[in-house]
A = this chain, B = another copy of it.
Amino acid sequence: MHKQTIKEVLENYKKFLHHDITVYGWVRAFRSNRFIALNDGSTINNLQIVVDFENIDENLIKNINTASSLKIVGEVVESQGAGQTVEIIAKKIIVLGDNFTEELQNTILQPKKHSLEKLREQAHLRFRTNLFGAVFRVRHAVSFAIHSFFNDRQFFYLNTPVITGADAEGAGEMFGVTNFDLDNIPRDEEGAIDYAQDFFGRKTNLTVSGQLEGETAAMGLGRIYTFGPTFRAENSNTTRHLAEFWMVEPEVAFNNLEDNIDLAEDFLKYVIQYVLDKCKDDLEFLDKRFAEEQKQKPEKERAKEGLIEKLENVVAKRFKRVSYTEAIDILLNSKENKKGKFVYPVEKWGADLQSEHERYLVEKHFECPVVLFDYPAEIKAFYMRLNEDDKTVAAMDVLFPGIGEIIGGSQREERLDVLKKKMEDMHVDQEELWWYLDTRKFGSVPHSGFGLGLERLVLFVTGMTNIRDVIPFPRTPKSAEF
Chain B CB within 8 A of A287 CB: no
List of B residues within 8 angstroms of A178 by Cβ: 175-176, 178, 182
Q: Say if the beta carbon of A356 comes within 8 Å of chain B.
A: no
Interface residues of A (CB under 8 A from B): 1, 3, 5, 7-8, 24, 26-27, 40-42, 67-69, 71, 96-100, 103-104, 107, 109, 122-129, 132-133, 136-137, 139-140, 143-144, 147, 151, 153-154, 156-166, 173, 175-180, 182-183, 185, 193, 199-202, 204, 206, 213, 216-223, 228-229, 231, 233, 235, 243-244, 246, 253-255, 259, 262-263, 266, 414, 416, 435-436, 438-446, 471-473, 475, 477-482
Number of copies: 2
Q: Which 10 interchain pairs have the tightest Cβ spacing?
A: A127-B220, A97-B444, A41-B222, A69-B443, A128-B220, A201-B478, A41-B221, A200-B480, A124-B216, A140-B156
Q: Do A158 and B136 have beta carbons less than 8 Å apart?
A: yes
B176 lies within 8 A of A477 (CB)? no
Would you list 5 pairs from A and B whose C-beta atoms are within 8 A, ordered by A residue?
A: A40-B222, A69-B445, A125-B442, A161-B480, A175-B178
Are the C-beta atoms of B442 and A233 separated by less than 8 Å? no
Measured CB to CB, the closest approach of chain B to A264, in angstroms, equals 12
Q: Whole-angstrom distance between the alpha carbons of A177 and B154 in the complex?
A: 36
Q: Indicate if the CB atoms of B137 and A156 lie closer than 8 Å.
A: yes
Tell me if A162 and B244 are in contact (CB < 8 A).
yes
Contacts of A137 in B (CB 8 A): 156, 221
Q: Which among A107, A199, A254, A481 has the greatest number of chain B C-beta atoms within 10 A?
A: A199
Closest chain B CB from A144 CB (angstroms): 5
CA distance A414 to B338 in the complex (A): 65
CA distance A120 to B225 in the complex (A): 21
Are the CB atoms of B220 and A96 closer together than 8 Å?
no
Chain B residues with CB under 8 Å of A97's CB are 414, 440, 443-445
Besides the contacts A177-B206, A199-B477, what 17 more A-B pairs have beta carbons closer than 8 Å? A24-B445, A40-B253, A41-B220, A42-B154, A97-B445, A100-B441, A124-B435, A140-B157, A143-B157, A161-B472, A165-B480, A176-B178, A177-B177, A180-B182, A199-B233, A200-B243, A213-B473
Q: Verify A24–B254 contact, CB threshold 8 A.
A: yes
